[in-house]
Structure 1
Amino acid sequence: MLEELEIHDLGPIQEARITPAKGMTAITGETGAGKSMLLSAIRLISGAPAQSRRVRPGATQAWAQGVFMVDADNPAAIQAEEAGVDTNADDGELFLSRTIPVSGRSRSVLSGHSVPRSVLEDIAQHLVTIHGQADQLRIASAARQRDLLDAYAEDSTQLNAYHDAWQALKAVDERLDTLEHQQADARQRADYLRESIERINQADPQPGEDEELKAKRSRIENAASIQQGVTSALAALDASQFDTGSDGMGATDLVRHAAQSLRSIRMDGDDTYDRLAQRLDSIETDLVDVAFTLSRQLDHDDDEGDLDAINARIHELGELTRRWGPSLADVIAWRDKAVFEVEDLDASPEKLDQLRAQRSELASQALQAARELSAVRAEAAGELSRRVTAELAELAMAGASLDVRVQPRANTEGDADAAVLDAHGMDDIMFAFTPFPGSDALPMGSSASGGELSRLMLALELTVAERRGSAADMTFIFDEVDAGVGGKAAAELGRRLAKLARTSQVIVVTHLAQVASWAQEQYVVSKQPAQSGASDEPGEVSVVTTVTRVDGEQRIQEIARMLSGSESGTSLDHARELLATSVQ
C-alpha cells in the first residue's frame, strides 16, 4: 500500500506530498493543471525511463519518492531483501525514489541503497498497477493475458504439475540431442580410447616405476665413485672386513675399546663412567648397522642391470606420461577411467533406445498435465468472460463484452510427442473485446479507446479482486477511466471503484464529481500565481502548480466546481447531496 508520495521539481510541480487513503483517493483539478505529473512520479519510482525534459524549468533536478507498507511475505519485500534492504528494520516500509538531473543519468534508490533501475521496476510490479492509456497496451500481450487468466483460475497446482513435467521432458530432449548428434564423434572417441588402453596395457606401468628406474640409472652411472666412497667408509668403520695386512683398527673397534677402558675404572658410589660406556655401546651398535648397510650396498652394486635396458624402459614410460600424465599414477587412472567410458560409448545405441522410450513416456505425462491445465483454464475463462461482461454493463458499456478464449493447439503430427506444447502449456489464449453490439470481437488493444480500455481493466480488476478476496499490498491507479461517461453511469463507475477499494488501495485521476465523491481522500491539482518575486524574469507572471488535500467545505466547493464549473448555491447544495449519498 502506498503511504506517501512526495515530488520535487517534476514538471510544473515545485513541491507536493500526498498521503493516499487506505481505500480510495481521488485526484482532481482543471484540465492541464498537471494531474498527469502524479502518474509520471509513480511511473518514475516504478522504474520507467527518465526524461530530463520533465525537470521543472529553473531547477537542476527532479525527485520523486514513494513510501510503501509491505508485509514480510510480499514478493516485493523478498526482492528488497535480495537487494540488501531489510524491510523489518524500517517497520515494513519500502522507500522507492528516483532523481532525474537536467543532464546526466538518473539515480534509483531503494530505502537508502542505490540500485539499478531494473530493481525498482521488479519490486514496483508487486506494489503498483497503473491503468492509464499507455499502460493498457501491456495487457494486449498474450503473456499478460495468460498470467491474468491463471491468476483468476487459481491453477497453481496444475501449473506446477505441468511445469515439472515440461522440465523433465526438456531434460531428456537435451540428453537425446547430445547423443544423437555425437554418434560419429562417439565412435571416433571409442576407437581412440581402445587404442590408448591397449598401448598402456602393453607397457604395463607400475606406480612409481619410473622414479625407481631413474634412481637405479643414477647409481649405475655413478658406480665407480659409489664403490670408492663406500669402500673407504667401510674401511674406516671396520678394517677387519678388508685384508689390508695391517693391524689397524676401525671406528667400531676404537669405540668398543673406549667402552672397555671406561668400564675398567672402579669408583665406589660413582657410576659416571659406566653410563658413558653404555652410551659408547649404543654408538657402536649404530656404527655396526651402518657398516652392514654399506656392505649390502656393495653387494647390490654388481646387480643393477643393463643401463641400455633401463634407459629404454624410462623412455617408454616417459612417452606414456607425456600423453596421459603428468605422472604414471595419472596414466593408470586415465586408463581405468577410459575403460568405463568405452563401455558407456559402446552402450550408446541401447541408451538411445532407453532415452527415446523414456521421452515418449514423459511426453505423454506432459501432454496429460497440459490437458488438465487447459481444462481448468477453459472453465475459468468462461466464468471470467461472463462476470467481466456483467461488470461492463454496470460501467456504461451495455452491449460490450469480453470473450476470454482458450484454444488448445492442434497436434499436426498426429502423435503424442508433445508437438503442441511449450513452456506454458498447450493453449493459445486471447482476450477478445467487443466494444458495442454488432462490432467484431477483436484482440484487446486494437478494439477499444483509452477510456474503454480503462473501464475494461477496472471490470477485470473488480472481478479478480472478488475472486481473490484481498490484495491489501497492491495499489491500483486509474487514469481516463471516466472518459466518455456521465450521469448515472458516472455514479456507478464511482461505486465500482469504491467496491475495489474495499480490498485494495485505489487512486483515480478523474474529472467527474460522481466518481470523486466516493473517495475517502481527495487532492486537487491547481495552477496559482507564484508569490511576488518568484518570477525569474522582470514583468513575467510566474505560475506554480500545487497539490492540496481538500476536506469539509473545501471539498464541497471542489465537487461543486466539478459539477457545474461554479460555486453557486445550487451547485454547492448538489455537491453536499452527492457526497452524502456516496456511501463509503
Structure 2
Amino acid sequence: MLLNLSIQNVAIIDKLEVEFKEGFNVLTGETGAGKSIVIDSVLLLIGARANKDIIRSGEERALVEGVFLVDSNKDKIAELLEEAGVSQEEDDTLIISREITKSGRSYSRVNGKIVPLSFLDKIGALLVDILGQHEHQFLLDSSQHLFILDNFGDEEFKALKERFKQLLEEYRSVVKEKTSLFKDEREKEQMIDLLRYQIQEIESANLSEEEEQQLIERRNILMNYEKLFNAVNSSYKILYEGNGGFSVLDNLHKVVKNLETAFSIDGKLKGLKEKLENILYETEDAALQLRDYLGAIDFNQKALEEIEERLNHINFLKRKYGPTISHILSFKEEKEKELDKILHFEERQKELEEKEAKLWEEINKMGSKIHEKRKTLASHIEEEINKVLKELNMPNASFKVDITKEESPNENGFDRVEFLISTNIGEPLKPLSKIASGGELSRIMLALKTILASSDGIPTLIFDEVDTGISGKTAQLVAEKMAYLSRRHQLICVTHLPQIACMADAHYFISKISKGDRTYIKLTELDYEGRIKELARIMGGEKITSTILEHAKELLEMASKFKNSL
C-alpha cells in the first residue's frame, strides 16, 4: 500500500506531498491542473523511463519518493530485496526514490541503497498495478492476450509452463547440434586432421600449470648468478670464517661460554643462556645451509638457453591457444571432445535423433496439458468477465477467449490466444480492436483487473482517467464496482465523474495557481463541505446553484449508504 508520495520539481509541480489512505483515494481538479503528473510520478517509482524534460523549468533535478507498506507479496519482495542486498525495515515499510538530473542521469534507491532501474520494475510489479489509457492499447494488442490469460493461472500451471520452456530449450539445442554435424566427408576429414594436429601439438609440449613459474624463477637465478653467489658467499664467510677476524659463530661461542660462567654465579641468567645457545645452534645450521647452497648453485649457460627456448615455446602456444597454460589445457580438452564426437559421428547422430524424437514427444504431451489447462482457465475467465460486464451495464456482451493450437511451439506452448467480444445480441464475436469503443474497453479492462486483483496480491491499484466514454447509469455501476474493489485493495483514481468521486474514502483536489511569473500545483485533502463543493463543480462547472449543491450532498449520502452495505 502506498502510504506517502513526495514530489519535487516534476513538470509544473515544485513541491507536493500527499498521504494516501486505505480504501478508495480520488484525485479531481480542472483539466490540466496536474492530476496525471501525480500518477506519472508513481510510475517513475515503479520503473518507468524518464528524461530530463520532466524537470521543472529552472531546476537542476527532479525527485520523487514513495513510502510503501509491504502488506502482501511479502515473501516475493523479501526475496528480491535479499538478492539486491537491500536491507528490510522492521516496520515492513519500503522507501523507494527516483532522482532525475539535468544531465539526463537517473538514480534509483530502495531503502537508501542505489539499485538499477530494472529492479524498480521487478519490485514495482508486486506493489502497484496501473490501469490507464495506455492499458487500452495493451488490451487491443492480441499478442498480449496469452500473457493476460496466463496471469490467472495457479502455481501448478506456471510450473508446467516452466517445464515446457526447459524441454523446448533442450530440444532446440539437440536440433542445433544435429544440424551442425558434418554432411561432407571431405570437410569431416579436414576437421579431424586439424583437431588431431592441435591436440598433438599441445600434448607434445607436455605442459603443466606450475612449470612456467618455475622456469621464470630458475631463469632469474641464472641471469643473476654472480650477484646471488657473492651475496650468499659473503654471508657464509661472515658467519663461519670471519673477515680477517673472528666470525659470528666464534663470537657467539664466546658469549655462550661467558654466560655459562655467569649462570653458575646467578641462576636468573638460565633463560637468557639457553636462548643464546639456541641462537648459536640455529646460526650454525644456517651457515651449513649456506655452504650447501653455494655447493649446489652453478652457472650453466646452456641451461639458461634451454629455459629461454622452453619459455618461448610456451608463449608461442599461448598466442595460439589461450592466455595461460590453464587455458591451453582446457582448449585441448574441448578439442578432444570435439574429435570424439566427429569420430563417433554416426553414433552421435543416431543418439541425437533418438533424443530429438523423445523430446518432441514430451513437448507435445506437455503442450497438450498446457492447452487443456488454458481452456479450463479461459472458461472460468469468460464466465467471470461476462458476469462483471453485466454488472457494468453491458448486459448483452459476450466475452470469449479464443485458443487455437499452432503447429510450431514457442516458449509458452503451442497456443495462440485472442480475446473476442460481441457487445450486442445478434452480432458475431469479433476481435476487441474491431468492435470495442473507449467506454467498452474501460469496462472490459476493469473487469479483467477486478478478477485478476483477487489472485495476484497486488495491494495498490491506480486508475488514471479510465472513465473515458462512460456516463450516467454506466458510470454509477463502474463507481460501485471500484468501491467494492477498494474494500480489498487500495485504489488511487483520477476521475472527472461525480459518480466515482463521491465513492471516495479520501478525496484530494488538485489546483493550479500562479505567483508572479511561475505556476504552482496545490493539493488539498477535502473535508465533507469541500467534497460537496467539488462534486458540484464537476457537475455544474462554473455556475454552482443551490440545486446542484443539494444534488452533490445527496450523491455523497447515497455513496456512504452503498459503501456501508458492502
Q: Fold conserved (TM > 0.5)?
A: yes
Which residue of structure 2 lines up, in the alignment, with residue 480 of structure 1? 465
> Which of 544, 551, 554 lines up with 1:574 in the alignment?
554
Measure how far apart 1:552 and its partner are.
3.0
Q: How does 1:546-557 map to 2 (within 5 A)?
A: 546-557=522-533
Which residue of structure 2 lines up, in the alignment, with residue 299 of structure 1? none
> Which of 374, 379, 382 lines up with 1:385 in the alignment?
382
Measure how far apart 1:364 and its partner are.
0.6
- The letter for the 1-side match of 2:391 is E
CA contact (8 A) 2:128 2:461 kept: yes
CA contact (8 A) 1:557 1:575 kept: no
Are residues 517 and 320 of structure 1, via their aligned partners in 2, closer, same or farther at CA, if it must alter by over 3 Å? closer
Which residue of structure 1 lines up, in the alignment, with residue 373 of structure 2? 376
Structure 2: how far apart are the matches of 1:387 and 1:27?
A: 29
Which residue of structure 1 lines up, in the alignment, with residue 41 of structure 2? 41
Which residue of structure 2 lines up, in the alignment, with residue 454 of structure 1? 442
Structure 2: how far apart are the matches of 1:169 and 1:385?
A: 34
Which residue of structure 1 lines up, in the alignment, with residue 494 of structure 2? 509
Structure 1: how far apart are the matches of 2:463 and 2:336?
A: 69
Which residue of structure 2 lines up, in the alignment, with residue 107 of structure 1? 107
Measure how far apart 1:578 and its partner are.
2.5
Measure how far apart 1:36 and its partner are.
1.3
Measure how far apart 1:185 and its partner are.
4.6
Measure how far apart 1:574 and its partner are.
1.5
Measure how far apart 1:374 and its partner are.
0.6
Q: How does 1:166-565 map to 2 (within 5 A)?
A: 166-180=168-182, 185-191=187-193, 344-409=341-406, 411=407, 420-436=408-424, 441-444=429-432, 447-466=435-454, 468=455, 471=457, 473-528=458-513, 534-536=515-517, 544-565=520-541
CA contact (8 A) 1:96 1:109 kept: yes
Structure 1: how far apart are the matches of 2:65 and 2:202?
A: 72
Q: Could you say which structure has the higher helix fraction?
A: 2
Measure how far apart 1:194 and its partner are.
6.8
CA contact (8 A) 1:454 1:481 kept: yes
Are residues 105 and 447 of structure 1, via their aligned partners in 2, closer, same or farther at CA, if it must alter by over 3 Å? farther
CA contact (8 A) 2:391 2:477 kept: yes
CA contact (8 A) 1:61 1:101 kept: yes
Are residues 433 and 94 of structure 1, via their aligned partners in 2, closer, same or farther at CA, if it must alter by over 3 Å? farther
Are residues 99 and 445 of structure 1, via their aligned partners in 2, closer, same or farther at CA, if it must alter by over 3 Å? farther
- The letter for the 2-side match of 1:423 is E
Measure how far apart 1:101 and its partner are.
4.1
SS at match of 2:563: coil
SS at match of 1:89: coil
Measure how far apart 1:373 and its partner are.
0.3
Of all paired residues, the percent bearing the same amino acid is 30
Are residues 434 and 554 of structure 1, via their aligned partners in 2, closer, same or farther at CA, if it must alter by over 3 Å? same
Measure how far apart 1:459 and its partner are.
0.5
Measure how far apart 1:62 and its partner are.
2.9
SS at match of 1:583: helix
Structure 1: how far apart are the matches of 2:333 and 2:352?
A: 27
CA contact (8 A) 1:133 1:450 kept: no
Are residues 198 and 174 of structure 1, via their aligned partners in 2, closer, same or farther at CA, if it must alter by over 3 Å? closer
Structure 2: how far apart are the matches of 1:74 and 1:143?
A: 31
CA contact (8 A) 1:367 1:421 kept: no
Measure how far apart 1:457 and its partner are.
1.1
CA contact (8 A) 2:131 2:461 kept: yes
SS at match of 1:30: coil
- The letter for the 1-side match of 2:516 is S
1:14 equivalenced with 2:2 (yes/no):
no
Which residue of structure 2 lines up, in the alignment, with residue 288 of structure 1? none
Q: Residues 413-454 of structure 1, C-alpha deviation per residue, up to 9 Å, x if partnerless?
A: xxxxxxx21111001111234455566655445643444323
Structure 1: how far apart are the matches of 2:199 and 2:85?
A: 55
Larger CA deviation: 345-354 vs 120-129: 120-129
Structure 2: how far apart are the matches of 1:535 and 1:507?
A: 32
SS at match of 1:96: strand
SS at match of 1:153: coil
SS at match of 1:426: strand
Q: Residues 227-251 of structure 1, C-alpha deviation per residue, up to 9 Å, x if partnerless?
A: xxxxxxxxxxxxxxxxxxxxxxxxx
- The letter for the 2-side match of 1:431 is F
CA contact (8 A) 2:398 2:423 kept: yes
Structure 2: unaligned runs, 5 residues or longer: 209-308, 322-327
Are residues 25 and 370 of structure 1, via their aligned partners in 2, closer, same or farther at CA, if it must alter by over 3 Å? same
Structure 1: unaligned runs, 5 residues or longer: 208-314, 412-419, 537-541
Which residue of structure 2 lines up, in the alignment, with residue 84 of structure 1? 85
Measure how far apart 1:476 and its partner are.
1.4
SS at match of 1:100: strand
Measure how far apart 1:25 and its partner are.
1.2
Larger CA deviation: 58-67 vs 544-553: 58-67
Measure how far apart 1:483 and its partner are.
2.1
Measure how far apart 1:508 and its partner are.
1.4
Are residues 398 and 56 of structure 1, via their aligned partners in 2, closer, same or farther at CA, if it must alter by over 3 Å? farther
Are residues 349 and 451 of structure 1, via their aligned partners in 2, closer, same or farther at CA, if it must alter by over 3 Å? same
> Which of 160, 163, 166 lines up with 2:165 in the alignment?
163
SS at match of 1:518: coil
Measure how far apart 1:82 and its partner are.
3.0
Measure how far apart 1:191 and its partner are.
4.5
Are residues 181 and 77 of structure 1, via their aligned partners in 2, closer, same or farther at CA, if it must alter by over 3 Å? farther
Are residues 348 and 152 of structure 1, via their aligned partners in 2, closer, same or farther at CA, if it must alter by over 3 Å? same
CA contact (8 A) 1:76 1:124 kept: no
Are residues 16 and 319 of structure 1, via their aligned partners in 2, closer, same or farther at CA, if it must alter by over 3 Å? closer
Are residues 180 and 92 of structure 1, via their aligned partners in 2, closer, same or farther at CA, if it must alter by over 3 Å? farther
Structure 2: how far apart are the matches of 1:369 and 1:453?
A: 34
Q: Residues 385-437 of structure 1, C-alpha deviation per residue, up to 9 Å, x if partnerless?
A: 2321232222233434432211101x4xxxxxxxx211110011112344555
